Amino acid sequence: MPQLPALPIYPAADIRAIELAVAAWERPPNLMERAGLVAAELARDRLLEGRKSVLVLAGPGNNGGDGFVVARHLKAWWYQVSVLFAGDRGRLSAAAGAAHDAWLGAGGTLVSEIPAGRFDLVVDALFGIGLGRDIDERYAGLIDWINRQPAPVLALDIPSGLHADSGRVLGCAVEAEHTVTFIALKPGLLTLDGPDHAGEIHVRELGLEVETLRSASGRVLSSHVLARVLAPRRRNSHKGTYGSVGIVGGAAGMVGAVLLAGRAALHVGAGRVYLGLLDAEAPRVDPAQPELMLRPAEEVLALEHLTCLVLGPGLGQSPQARSAVALALERELPLVLDADALNLIGAHDALREVCRARPLPTVLTPHPAEAARLLQTTTGEIQSDRVRSALQLAARYNAGTTLKGVGSVLAFPDGSWAINTSGNPGLASAGMGDVLSGILGGLIAQGAAAHAGLIAGVYLHGAAADELLATRDGPLGMSGADVMQAARGLLNRALYAARR
C-alpha cells in the first residue's frame, strides 16, 4: 500500500505490545496516570463547560483504573464527582489498584449503586480493549442506564461492550458522544458498529512516539490521497492522453447500473468511456450523457486500446455474464471487479483460479455478502472481523480490495490495510456501488496505479457524500448522480487548488 500521511491504527494485541515495550524502559512513564489526566482535561475543556456534576463508572480492570485517575483530577479541579466501582479491589492490577487507592486518598468515595440525581457528564470506564466476551447481566444494566441518560457520555479508550478489533457489539455497548482513545486508534472504533457507538473520537498518544515503538500495518485514509492520485494535465494533451475505460454489465432490467458507472468515470476525468451492454434491446445512447459510447459487451471486451476494464455493474449471472467474466479475466490490463462479477467468481472454481493468477492489477469491491461468496463463508463471519476478512480476500485473490460498508476496509496483498472514515448514511442508496466502480475505473484508466486509485477513489466517494451532507438538511434522498457531481469538484480542487 502506498505510504499515507494519516493516523495509524493498531489492533489490541499491538497496543498491548507497545505497553509492554514501554514498561521495559529503565524509567517507564505511568501510562494510566497520563491517560486519566488527558481524559480529565478533555472533560474539563470540552464537555463540562461550567457544569459541575460528574459520575464515573469504573469497571474491574485497567479501564476502571483510568476512571479513578479521571475522577481524582476532576475532584481536584472542584468538580462534584461520584464514582461507582463495579469491581473487586483485590482483583485489580497493581496500576489500577494504586489508582483506586489514590482516589480514596484524595478524599474520594465509592458507591455500589447509581446515585439519585442528575449528572452533567457520565464517564464510561467499565471495560477497555481487552473485552472479548459478551457483557453479563449486571454490567448490561449499567450500560443500559448510561445509554438512557440525557447527559453527554465520555468513553475511555473504547465504549464499553465494543470489540476493539472488529467493532462488534458484545451483547450491548455504550453509545458515547465522545471517546478518548489512548496511544492510537483501534479498528473497532472505525468500522461496523464502532462509528455508531464511539461518537467523536479524540486520540491521545500519552507522550509516546508510537510508530517508533511498533510499525503500523493499518491507517486511516485522509484527504492527502487525492492530491497525488493523478498528475496535473498538460496543455498539450487530448482525450486519448487520459485513458479509455471499458465498463461491462447492463443486463436486461439493470442497464442503469452501467450508465451510472460510465457517467462517474467521465466525471473524474476519463478520456473515453465505453459501455458494454449485455441487453441487446437497450438503447445505444445515453441522452443524459451522450459522450458515453454504448456497444455490445463482446465488442467492448475486445477493444485493444483500453487502459482499464470495469466488470460487474448490472451484469447479472447468466451464461453470457459468466463468459464476459472469463474474457475479462484474461485481458492484460487493470481490472475492477464489482457486483455480479464477484458473485460469479465466487461461484466457479475455474474463475477463481484465473483471477488469482492474473499478472496485472486486480481490484475487488465487494459488499459483505459478495465477500462471503468469494471466501465461501457467511456474511456474519465476514462482518465479525472486517479487517481480517478484507486481508483474506486480498491475499487469496492477489488483489487490492475494499470491503464496503461503514468504515470500508481496504486491504492489499502485502498485508497492509486501511480504513476509510469518509462517507455517511446518504450512501445507503441504490447505485452508489456502481458510482464507486466508475470512479475507480476512471482514475485507473487515466494512469493512477491500481492500488493508489483504489485508495483515492474510495476516499473520494465518501468525501463527496460528506460534502453533500454539509449543504443539505440530512442524508435522505442522496443519489449517485449527486455524488459524482460532488466528486468532480472535490477532485479538481485537490489536484489544482495548490497550483493556482
Residue 192 belongs to a domain: yes
Let me know whether 447 and 328 are in one domain: yes
Q: How far apart are CA 173 and CA 139, in angstroms?
A: 10
Residue 72 belongs to a domain: yes
User: Cβ atoms within 10 A of the Cβ of 233, count?
Assistant: 13
Last residue of a domain, one of 166, 200, 216: 216
Let me know whether 386 and 477 are in one domain: yes
Name the region of 277 (left: φ>0; alpha: ψ -120 to 50; beta: rest).
beta
User: Cβ atoms within 10 A of the Cβ of 132, count?
Assistant: 10
Residue 193 belongs to a domain: yes
pLDDT the model gives residue 50: 83
Count how many domains the chain has. Answer: 2
* Block residue for cell numbers 485517575: 69
Residue 4 belongs to a domain: no
Question: What distances in angstroms separate CA 161 from CA 67, 125, 151, one per listed residue?
Answer: 16, 11, 19
Q: Average per-residue pLDDT in the chain?
A: 96
Q: Is 116 helix (H, G, I), strand (E, B) or coil?
A: coil
The two counts, helices (H) then strands (E), for the chain are 19, 18
**Predicted TM-score of the model (pTM):** 0.95
Contact indicator for 348, 322 with CB cutoff of 8 Å: yes
pLDDT in tens, 117-138: 899 999 999 999 999 999 999 9
Let me know whether 120 and 228 are in one domain: no
Let me know whether 167 and 38 are in one domain: yes
On the CB side of 314, CA atoms within 13 Å amount to 29
pLDDT in tens, 78-92: 999 999 999 999 999
Averaged pLDDT, 226-245: 94
Name the H helices within 246-318: 255-267, 297-301
pLDDT in tens, 246-292: 999 999 999 999 999 999 999 999 999 999 999 999 989 999 999 99
- Give percent of the chain above pLDDT 70: 98
Contact indicator for 442, 270 with CB cutoff of 8 Å: yes
Averaged pLDDT, 22-37: 97
Residue 401 belongs to a domain: yes
Q: How far apart are CA 255 and CA 289, in angstroms?
A: 14
Q: What is the CATH number of the domain that holds 143?
A: 3.40.50.10260
Let me know whether 278 and 411 are in one domain: yes
Last residue of a domain, one of 166, 195, 216: 216
Q: Which of 121, 114, 123, 112 is nearest to 68 (CA)?
A: 123
Let me know whether 275 and 415 are in one domain: yes
Question: What distances in angstroms separate CA 7 from CA 67, 183, 221, 255, 421, one per listed residue?
Answer: 25, 11, 8, 40, 12
Q: How far apart are CA 406 and CA 421, in angstroms?
A: 8
Let me know whether 297 and 443 are in one domain: yes
Averaged pLDDT, 396-422: 97
Residue 352 belongs to a domain: yes
Contact indicator for 146, 139 with CB cutoff of 8 Å: no
Q: What is the domain range of residue 165?
A: 9-216
Residue 396 belongs to a domain: yes
Contact indicator for 226, 460 with CB cutoff of 8 Å: yes
Last residue of a domain, one of 216, 240, 270: 216
Q: Which residues contact 89 (CB under 8 A, 6 or more apart)?
A: 97, 100
On the CB side of 436, CA atoms within 13 Å amount to 32
Let me know whether 137 and 184 are in one domain: yes
Q: How far apart are CA 390 and CA 403, in angstroms?
A: 6
Let me know whether 178 and 303 are in one domain: no
pLDDT band at 3 (very low <50, low <70, confident <90, very high): very low
Let me know whether 234 and 91 are in one domain: no
Q: What is the CATH number of the domain that holds 391?
A: 3.40.1190.20
Q: Is 80 helix (H, G, I), strand (E, B) or coil?
A: strand
Let me know whether 203 and 301 are in one domain: no
Let me know whether 171 and 229 are in one domain: no
pLDDT band at 217 (very low <50, low <70, confident <90, very high): confident
Residue 1 belongs to a domain: no
